[in-house]
Structure 1
Amino acid sequence: MPYQQRIDRRRPGCFLFLVDQSGTMQQAIGGSAQVRKGQALSDTVNDVLYAVLIECTKDVREEEPRHYFDVGVIGYGGPGTVAPVVGAAGREPLVPSAHLPRYARVETREKLLPDSEGRYRQVSRRSMVWLDPVWYGSTPMCAALQYAHKVLKRWAARHRDSFPPIVLHVTDGMATDGDPRRAAARLRRLRTADGRLLLFNLHLSARGEHAVYFPSAPVGGTDPATELLYEMSSELPAGLVEEAGYADRIAPGARGFVYNADVPELVDFMRIGTATTGRVRAG
């Protein structure tokens, strides 16, 4: 059966975040006037990278975390700009988890966090920051998927025995450089001995409408992006859903796809997409 491989230093895993940095990411998320989509996305990615770092720190006496994952964050926006945003001056598309602290800064930030009643409150806390909110220009999604293919084709060839790469793609609109389905299908065909690459897609909402949450069948609607992103998304392996603690909320056969997401759905998406952190074993 595919998607069974455990993760250790001889067989690291791989996460690649594709983040939309186009001009519309400055809009408020979910109809809220308080949080911009780009800010919510950067905050969540920073939190996820920190969680990965913690999972890779098995012994506080060691000088650096262990190399259990290769991690990349690729931003796309502007006039066809696609580039790594974590690494040495943007030259390293994938960074070993052991090196993540080198590329972060630590600062005290005022963050808007939802309370139990869904209201946002400002909280001060010290955070490790890898990704800053950026919004500019168009949405070169096809170019971003093609770049991811180039990076992960090399990774998969060098890590044949590893759990396959997981791509977490977050956008708020349609591609402005063509139909991304062909590039997405080509990306999903990459594989290791443990299965095909997993591509998960999330669409951020500016309107606060009802979210489409990990559907197991195509969802009708007037927005063509719904069908397109569903078609682009891999099926969620049951093991990942169980390990993330969402088995009672997500039906078998569901796709890794969320539409019209607000902050809670964005957090769920990231937790499920990075659930392989629970497969780390010392060594």
Structure 2
Amino acid sequence: MPYQQRIDRRRPGCFLFLVDQSGTMQQAIGGSAQVRKGQALSDTVNDVLYAVLIECTKDVREEEPRHYFDVGVIGYGGPGTVVPVVGGDGRDPLVPSAHLPRYARVETREKLLPDGEGRYRPVSRRSMVWLDPVWHGSTPMCAALQYAHKVLKRWAARHRDSFPPIVLHVTDGMATDGDPRRAAARLRRLRTADGRLLLFNLHLSARGEQAVYFPSAPVGGADPATALLYEMSSELPAGLVEEAGYADRIAPGARGFVYNADVPELVDFMRIGTATTGRVRAG
């Protein structure tokens, strides 16, 4: 049965974040005039990386976290621009979780957080920052997926006994460099002994429309990106959904896909996509 492997230092897991940094990411998210899509995305990724760091720190007296995961963040935006934005290099952008603190800076930042009434309120707090909001140019999604394949093919070959890599892809639009379905299918065919790579996709909305939330069947609609991103997405393993605490909200057979997301859906998406942090065991 796939997707059962626990995670330890001999069998680390892998998260790769693909983040759209095209020009439209400067638009407000969910129809709000307060929060730009690029800002919401960078804040959420920073929070997730910090959560991974905490899960990999078994003893606060240790000098650094343990190597339970390899983590990469790939940004894409502009004509063919696909670059690692957190450590690593062009050939291998993955960073061992033990090294994540080296690539962060600590700042006191004012974040806009939901107040439960449809608005956002400013909250100041000290945060570790890996990713800054960036937006420019077009949306070379196909190139980003192809780059991810190159990186994760090597990783999977070196970690045959590990839980398969998880790719968390966040975008706000259609690819400008072709049809990404072929590149996505090729990426999903990568595997370890524990199963195929998992590719989850989230579309950020600027319109404040109702979200399509982890559907188990194709969803009709005027926007062709809905069907395209659904087709690109892996089915959510039941174990991940349960470990993230969402079993009562997500139907069996659901795809790892959210459309027209606002900040709460973005947070849910990241929590489910990184639920394997709960599988860490000493060793």
- Is the contact made by 2:88 and 2:94 (CA closer than 8 Å) also made in structure 1? no
**In 1, are the aligned partners of 2:91 and 2:151 still within 8 Å (CA)?**
no
Given that residues 114 and 120 in structure 1 are in contact (C-alpha distance below 8 angstroms), is that contact kept between their aligned partners in structure 2?
yes
Mapped contact 1:188–1:198 kept (Cα < 8 A): yes
Instruction: Give the secondary-structure state (helix, strand or coil) at the position aligned to 2:35.
Output: coil
**Relative to structure 1, is the Cα distance of residues 4 and 252 closer, same or farther in structure 2, using a 3 angstrom cutoff?**
same
For residues 102-154 of structure 1, give each alpha carbon's deviation from its aligned partner in whole angstroms, at most 9, with x where no partner exists.
00000000110011223200010000000000000000000000000000000
Deviations 1:246-266 (A, max 9, x none): 000000000000000000000
Per-residue CA shift, 1:5-44, capped at 9, x if unaligned? Answer: 0000000000000000000000000000000000000000
Stretches of structure 2 lacking an aligned partner (at least 5 in a row)? none
CA contact (8 A) 2:88 2:95 kept: no
- Kindly indicate whether the alpha-carbon contact (under 8 Å) linking 1:138 and 1:176 is maintained by their aligned counterparts in 2: yes
Contact 1:86–1:92 (Cα < 8 Å) also in 2: no
The separation in 1 between residues aligned to 2:225 and 2:246, in whole angstroms, is 25
Describe the superposition over 1:170-191 as per-residue Cα deviations: whole angstroms up to 9, x where unpaired. Answer: 0000000000000000000000
Structure 1 runs not aligned, ≥5 long: none
Q: TM-score scaled by structure 2?
A: 0.99
CA distance in 2, matches of 1:133, 1:256: 24
* 8 Å CA contact 1:21, 1:38 repeated in 2: yes
Runs of 4+ aligned residues of structure 1 deviating over 6 Å after TM superposition are: none
1:79 Cα deviation after fit: 1.4
Q: Is the 8 A contact 1:88 1:103 kept in 2?
A: no
Q: Are 1:224 and 2:191 counterparts?
A: no
1:90 aligned counterpart, secondary structure: coil
How far has the Cα of 1:89 moved from its partner?
6.5
Q: What is the DSSP-based 3-state SS (H/G/I as helix, E as strand, rest coil) of the residue aligned with 2:89?
A: helix
Deviates more, 1:39-48 or 1:114-123: 114-123
Q: Distance in 1 between matches of 2:281 and 2:9?
A: 9
**Aligned CA-pair RMSD:** 0.8
Q: Can you list the C-alpha shifts for 1:182-241, whole angstroms capped at 9, x where unaligned?
A: 000000000000000000000000000010000000000000000000000000000000
Note if contact 2:113-2:122 (Cα within 8 Å) is conserved in structure 1. yes
- Where does residue 126 of structure 1 map in the other structure? 126
Residue 26 (structure 1) aligned with residue 26 (structure 2): yes
2-structure distance, mates of 1:26, 1:61: 41
Q: CA deviation at 1:78?
A: 0.9
Which has the larger displacement, 230-239 or 110-119?
Answer: 110-119
- Check conservation: 2:55, 2:277, Cα contact below 8 A: yes
1: distance between equivalents of 2:35 and 2:282? 39
Distance 1:176 1:200, change over 3 A: same
Where 1:18 maps in the other structure, the secondary structure is strand
**Residue 147 and residue 27 in structure 1: after superposition, are their counterparts in 2 closer, same or farther (change >3 A)?**
same
Q: 1:210 to 1:23 in 2, by over 3 A?
A: same
CA shift digits 1:45-77 (9 cap, x unpaired): 000000000000001111100000000000000
Relative to structure 2, which stretch is displaced further, 218-227 or 115-124? 115-124
Find the aligned partners of 1:262 and 1:10 in 2 and give their Cα distance: 37
User: CA offset at residue 91 of structure 1?
Assistant: 6.3
Which whole-Å CA distance do the structure 2 matches of 1:261 and 1:114 have between them? 14
* Cα distance in 2 for residues equivalent to 1:127 and 1:231: 36
Rounded to whole Å, the distance in 1 between the matches of 2:89 and 2:11 is 27
- TM-score, length-normalised on structure 1? 0.99
Distance across 1 between alignment mates of 2:116 and 2:232: 34
Shift of 1:92: 4.3
* Separation in 1, partners of 2:88, 2:179: 32
How many matched pairs? Answer: 283
Q: For the structure 1 residues 87 and 259, does the alpha-carbon distance in structure 2 shift closer, same or farther, using more than 3 Å as the test?
A: same
